[in-house]
Structure 1
């Protein structure tokens, strides 16, 4: 599998695509641009972000925001409220438990159920 080829099949922002699975974990790719991801948390799951292209502004409760760039990896621990945004197109790999809802328990215009991520 080629990650760039997989990213080329994603036409919409904020639409995670499952590209594989390892045991009880999904490997997803997503493109974002803008500020539509709501503040949310994952009650029982950690979430891994790997930046493939672009820059991602990462905000975490009670901490200073920081910017992730190509090649940067960050793990959000369960229960930590966070949100991400990007001025320009950003390509991200997410590694999440299969039970992880990508906007936590918050439902908004970008929320996609797992069946729409396959």
Structure 2
């Protein structure tokens, strides 16, 4: 990542962003824990249509979304399904089982914010690979190797995997919400 950092200014130019594929989606870190003394992590995130991470829960950090375009469906234990659209701001607090899915028609783009940054950022870094182009990875599907890597690194990143992609929190299974 080409970053201009002085004692008082941190800037990442669009053309110089690092591009990574994380679970097939494009993620471009803008501010990392190292740069913010573990205070916050911010990345530009572009998800393919229907992209959905495994059902999971964060022990240490809140997962925050500012949706730039598209729609994202969010499911959190004990809550109704929520649809976020461009301009919406969503917080999935630590300790709450959740998952989300980018629009099946168009995918979605958002700013991903982790606060504090120290834990889940480790999972992103361990699972990501350099992107060959600035878009979600074409044809990506989760495979056994990726699942093994997630299972190995998630605990050290403060993440509990609770299901596979497509699994919903218990309160949403069979169309039932609490």
Q: TM-score category by the smaller chain?
A: 0.7 to 0.9
Match of 2:31 in 1: 20
- Return closer, same or farther for 1:47/1:11 CA change in 2, 3 Å cut-off: closer
2:101 counterpart (85, 108, 114):
85
**Highest RCO, 1 vs 2 (Cα 8 Å, sep ≥ 6):** 1
Q: Counterpart of 2:113 in 1: which secondary structure?
A: strand
Match of 1:105 in 2: 160
1:21-60 to 2 correspondence within 5 Å? Answer: 21=32, 22-24=36-38, 25-32=40-47, 33-60=49-76
Q: Matched residue pairs, number?
A: 107
| More strand as a share of residues | 1
- Return closer, same or farther for 1:62/1:43 CA change in 2, 3 Å cut-off: same
**How far 1:63 sits from its partner (Å)?**
1.3
**How far 1:26 sits from its partner (Å)?**
1.2
Match of 1:114 in 2: none
**How far 1:48 sits from its partner (Å)?**
1.0
- Return closer, same or farther for 1:31/1:60 CA change in 2, 3 Å cut-off: same
- Asked if structure 1 preserves the Cα contact closer than 8 Å seen for 2:65 and 2:89, the reply is yes
**How far 1:10 sits from its partner (Å)?**
6.8
- Asked if structure 2 preserves the Cα contact closer than 8 Å seen for 1:10 and 1:30, the reply is no
**How far 1:19 sits from its partner (Å)?**
1.6
* TM-score computed with the length of structure 1 as normaliser: 0.72
**How far 1:2 sits from its partner (Å)?**
6.0
Instruction: Could you tell me which runs of 5 or more consecutive residues in structure 2 were left unpaired when the two chains were aligned.
Output: 1-11, 125-153, 166-178
**How far 1:74 sits from its partner (Å)?**
1.2
Q: Which runs of 4+ in 1 moved over 4 A?
A: 9-13
